[in-house]
């Protein structure tokens, strides 16, 4: 293992620890504050940070936090080119229905690499005009981004939507939101340009 591999492991551990602190917070808005502060510190100081720029956020909106059941969906498999890392295989394992004010269905994917993980990207009406044009991520459990859930439901808090690393640095090739993860509504929550 090289030094850069060790620092990448450290990055992932710090992100996982950050989400553990978010889940342990007394309330979701406090967790969101911890998340913003933790990400700001990682971006500013960590050698594997995709950026050193200060990231902006929309204000926390409690109406954008949902506990939603994982519903059945037609199986689908996608191969995503991730550049030097090779190919990422995504398998649709279900979908979730987001209620008002978003009123949208999102596909939920399983990543076969990284020992597996749930992946929920989102491309909304702010893409390219308020947030990264390729979309943002809501969940990427392979990287530690997990807000909670149980055997049949997920916690999706759109206030925690974040830009993928490829938004900041061309050396990263990220899986972006496919059609089933694209919504017309403007989700003015989470990271912003």
SS (H, E, C) the chain: CCHHHHHHHHHHHHHHHHHHHHHHCCCHHHHHHHHHHHHHHHHHHCCCCCCCCCCEECCCCHHHEEEEECECCCCCEEEEECHHHCEEEEEEEEEEEECCCCCEEEEEEEECCCCCEEEEEEECCCECCCECCCCEEEEEHHHCECCCECCCEEEEEHHHCECCHHHCCCCCCCCCCCHHHECCCCCCCCEEC
pTM score, whole prediction: 0.92
pLDDT per residue of the chain (193 residues) written in tens, 0 to 9: 456 888 888 988 999 999 999 999 999 999 999 999 999 999 999 998 888 888 999 999 999 999 999 999 999 999 987 777 678 899 999 999 999 888 999 999 999 876 789 999 999 999 999 999 999 999 999 888 999 999 999 999 999 999 998 898 777 778 899 999 999 999 999 999 9
pLDDT at 2: 57
């Amino acid at each position: 293992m090289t030094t850069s591999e060790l620092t990448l492991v450290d990055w992932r551990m710090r992100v996982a620890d950050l989400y553990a602190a978010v889940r342990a917070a007394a309330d979701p808005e406090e967790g969101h504050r911890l998340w913003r502060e933790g990400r700001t510190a990682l971006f500013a100081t960590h050698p594997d940070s995709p950026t050193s720029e200060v990231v902006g956020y929309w204000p926390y909106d409690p109406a954008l936090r949902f506990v939603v059941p994982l519903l059945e969906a037609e199986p689908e498999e996608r191969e995503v080119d991730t550049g030097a890392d090779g190919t990422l295989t995504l398998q649709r394992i279900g979908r979730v229905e987001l209620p008002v004010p978003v009123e949208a269905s999102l596909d939920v994917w399983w990543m076969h690499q990284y020992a597996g993980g749930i992946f929920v990207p989102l491309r909304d009406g702010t893409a390219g005009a308020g947030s990264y044009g390729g979309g943002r991520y809501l969940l990427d459990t392979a990287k530690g981004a997990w807000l909670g859930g149980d055997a049949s439901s997920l916690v999706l808090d759109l206030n925690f939507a974040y830009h993928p690393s490829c938004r900041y640095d061309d050396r990263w090739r990220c899986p972006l939101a496919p059609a089933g993860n694209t919504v017309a509504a403007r989700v003015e929550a989470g990271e912003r340009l």
